[in-house]
Structure 1
């Protein structure tokens, strides 16, 4: 197992359990205790966990994995969701994409749509996510508008008043939101209030709003609200979403697409 794969697995275990012992982690990953101690020390130096005697705990109360370590979580579900979301976008539209692993997959799904391979542009994409802009900028069929702002390392998203200025001058056909949590009562939410503020502006500038979220995000709350549930037109999620959960969103007037 490579170091990056090992670090990803360690951080995943920490998110799930909140605390890990060296011996426990070594057994889980089939490596030596010395290797795990070294990994914990290096991750602690990057402020991605807190070292304890004999182990590690998550860093802070509201722990958030950096984007590069989230990519393997629910990967197949995110790919299916992304393909379904991309199918809801029509040629010629202006689309807003927030940051996140699911919206990154949406960008990739749009990039391989055959009917968007021509046109000038076939699609206008507005995003505050540096990684999404980087992937799509080489595609001549897309006009890419980047909001500006200050980069947030965990998500590669641009935040702050510089982004506000751009979003206040544009109109979108559709905004696609990646979220940390989505609940009928509490709405769509993120961990970071500055990201939530930019995502909220994208929603306000859009004719319709799509939440792209795997089932693990549903029925949950997070620190910073992006928008109320009634601001969302469509939820695209995976088939593991419970029938009661789907019913609550449907009763709230949200179209639910499961894949």
Structure 2
């Protein structure tokens, strides 16, 4: 289990996890089940950056530093997928066109616009929350949003052929047991965070259920546009999940 966690850290983050570990596709598939745990680590680093910076800086700059910490922890892994997805789905007229555009390392207008709007929305949502609610919001959104890639991998076929694929690999299938373990671990972690931070609204403990409601919609859209998923689409789903969860938290906080 520790070995799979290290593989997940090496693949999904820039956090040092020791020397390169030998592994095959099955190891990556199993390590993908640790995505909610990776979210706890990345979200914890982001929340820690907010807490420390808020001791010296106003609320707004502290939120920006928290977002930067999350990007640095993952090496913009999911943001890169979101940008490529914006370019591919926005500029391609056929499946082959979309795959070709998403494979291109250049940043297009759709990617640039999408990233700007994404971070503006994250900043606006986080800035609208009380400082005491920020650590819970950052950590729980990172945890629960990473359930979306797990669900999409289970629901959709992998469509990118190897000769078009980028250098980085992607999980091409997970078992129902891995999916259930990921969902259970996310629920336990968010419940634990709720008990630690006491954010107030009891409905916040149901945050891990949001990906269950959103994943069929995203899966249907991906199936229509590409017939399945790619690594870039999984990254985009994770980012959309973060925004959806932060929006839900902001809405509940306003009640």
- Give the TM-score range, shorter chain: under 0.3
TM-score, normalised to structure 2's length?
0.25
Q: Which has the higher helix share?
A: 2
Q: Which has the higher strand share?
A: 1
Q: Greater Rg, structure 1 or structure 2?
A: 1
TM-score, normalised to structure 1's length?
0.25
